[in-house]
């Protein structure tokens, strides 16, 4: 078990490595997961998330590659909560916590790192001031990254606030289990423990209705090739799947039969938002030298259901000084 540090002009990258040739690289910019390197069935170690080789590329492309999204992941209708007007950075709505500044593109502070016999970890912190992006309360966010010798990579987010505010963070990793994005994710197999998805309007804002997935392209009760769904969806996946929160077993499995790699995702949230890198608006290169294109990755955003504050039954994302909140997402890399 070890931790290596790379220092760049404005950011630092920390690589957590276990004894099984599995490693995770995290940037202080946006508390971003830069790379997750795992062996394939033949022992070849490659990166299974999309990102960039050059730290300077991250601020240029606001597609949240591996970034921590906070204060609130997803969209908030009209950027409104109670009497607060939040930053409207996608039309009239707030997307991924607003953009003045976007917490995914600011530097987080390294608080500590630890190396134990069976586990290594890194703690990053961000202080978001009262009124930032329109949100009330001084909010302190701790992001705790851990990797152990069971090939379990976990991210824990803890929020403390000075007054009632909203807190629903996520990690915006795009997975591609082929390794170094050699192929699209079309032939990946996906299984989700989800009976319903959140219906959305033409602005991708949840209506409050939950739609049954049976006999639809969103039915992943059994392992299903992503191609089956993507061929039926003109705009690909950009969908919130409702799940039962768990701290005991994964609610999603993604596999690549060709490489033999598998990742299982477990979250304490009640939703997994899947986004299939639909039709990039510009041409650019990602880590490994490949050109970004449609279906090159599958974002798996573990969180509470989007726009929860406007829909009963979507879960509570309101925290207060006396009630801090913790979310834990675990990625089983085997």
pTM equals 0.96
pLDDT of residue 277: 84
Which residues, other chains included, contact 20 with Cβ-Cβ below 8 Å and sequence gap of 6+?
39, 149, 151
**330 to 18, 171, 191, 221, 267: CA distances (angstroms):** 16, 11, 16, 20, 6
Token pair for 32: 């971003």
> In DSSP terms, which residues pair with 156 in a beta bridge?
144, 328
| Through-space distance between the first and last CA atoms of the chain, rounded to whole angstroms | 18
Q: Which CATH class is domain 2-333?
A: mainly beta
pLDDT of residue 8: 95
pLDDT of residue 61: 87
Alpha-carbon 171 to chain mean position: 3
Annotated binding site for beta-D-galactose: 172-174, 238
Per-residue pLDDT of the chain (334 residues; tens, 9 = 90+): 999 999 999 899 999 999 999 999 999 999 999 999 999 999 999 999 999 999 999 999 889 999 999 999 999 999 999 999 999 999 999 999 999 999 999 999 999 999 999 999 999 999 999 999 999 999 999 999 999 999 999 999 999 999 999 999 999 999 999 999 999 999 999 999 999 999 999 999 999 999 999 999 999 999 999 999 999 998 899 999 999 998 889 999 999 999 999 999 999 999 999 999 877 777 899 998 889 998 999 999 999 999 999 999 999 999 999 999 999 999 999 8
pLDDT of residue 160: 98
Instruction: Kindly provide the b/e burial profile for residues 321-331, where b requires at least 16 CB atoms within 10 angstroms of the residue's own CB.
Output: eeeebebbbbb
pLDDT of residue 66: 97
The single residue listed with the structure tokens 């996608």 is: 90
Catalytic positions: 172, 301
pLDDT of residue 62: 85
∠ Cα 125 105 186 (to 5°)? 110
**In the chain, what are the domain boundaries?**
2-333
pLDDT of residue 153: 98
The single residue listed with the structure tokens 């804002």 is: 205
């Amino acid at each position: 078990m070890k931790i290596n540090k790379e220092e760049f002009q404005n950011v630092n990258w920390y690589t957590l490595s276990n004894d099984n040739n599995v490693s995770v690289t995290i940037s202080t910019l946006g508390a971003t997961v830069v790379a997750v390197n795992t062996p394939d069935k033949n022992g070849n170690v490659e990166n299974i998330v999309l990102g960039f080789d050059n730290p300077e590329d991250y601020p240029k492309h606001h597609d949240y590659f591996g970034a921590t999204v906070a204060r609130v992941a997803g969209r908030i209708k009209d950027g409104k909560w109670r009497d607060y007007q939040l930053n409207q950075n996608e039309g009239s709505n707030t997307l991924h916590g607003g953009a003045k500044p976007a917490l995914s593109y600011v530097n987080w502070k390294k608080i500590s790192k630890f190396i134990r016999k069976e586990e290594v970890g890194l703690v990053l912190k961000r202080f978001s001031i009262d009124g930032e992006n329109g949100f009330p309360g001084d909010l302190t966010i701790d992001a705790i990254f851990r990797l152990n010798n069971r090939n379990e990579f976990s991210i824990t987010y803890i929020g403390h606030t000075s007054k009632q505010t909203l807190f629903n963070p996520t990690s915006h990793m795009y997975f591609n289990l082929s390794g170094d994005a050699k192929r699209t994710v079309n032939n990946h197999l996906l299984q989700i423990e989800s009976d319903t998805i959140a219906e959305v309007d033409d602005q991708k804002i949840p209506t409050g209705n939950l739609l049954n997935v049976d006999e639809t392209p969103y039915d992943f009760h059994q392992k299903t090739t992503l191609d089956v769904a993507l061929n039926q969806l003109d705009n690909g996946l950009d969908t919130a799947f409702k799940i039962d929160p768990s701290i005991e077993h994964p609610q999603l499995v993604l596999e690549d039969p060709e490489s033999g790699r598998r990742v299982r995702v477990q979250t304490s949230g009640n939703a997994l938002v899947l986004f299939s890198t639909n039709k990039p608006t510009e041409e650019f290169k990602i880590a490994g030298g490949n050109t970004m294109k449609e279906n090159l990755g599958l974002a798996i955003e573990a969180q509470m259901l989007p726009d929860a504050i406007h829909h009963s039954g979507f879960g509570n994302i309101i925290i207060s000084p006396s009630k801090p909140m913790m979310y834990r997402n675990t990625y089983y890399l085997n």
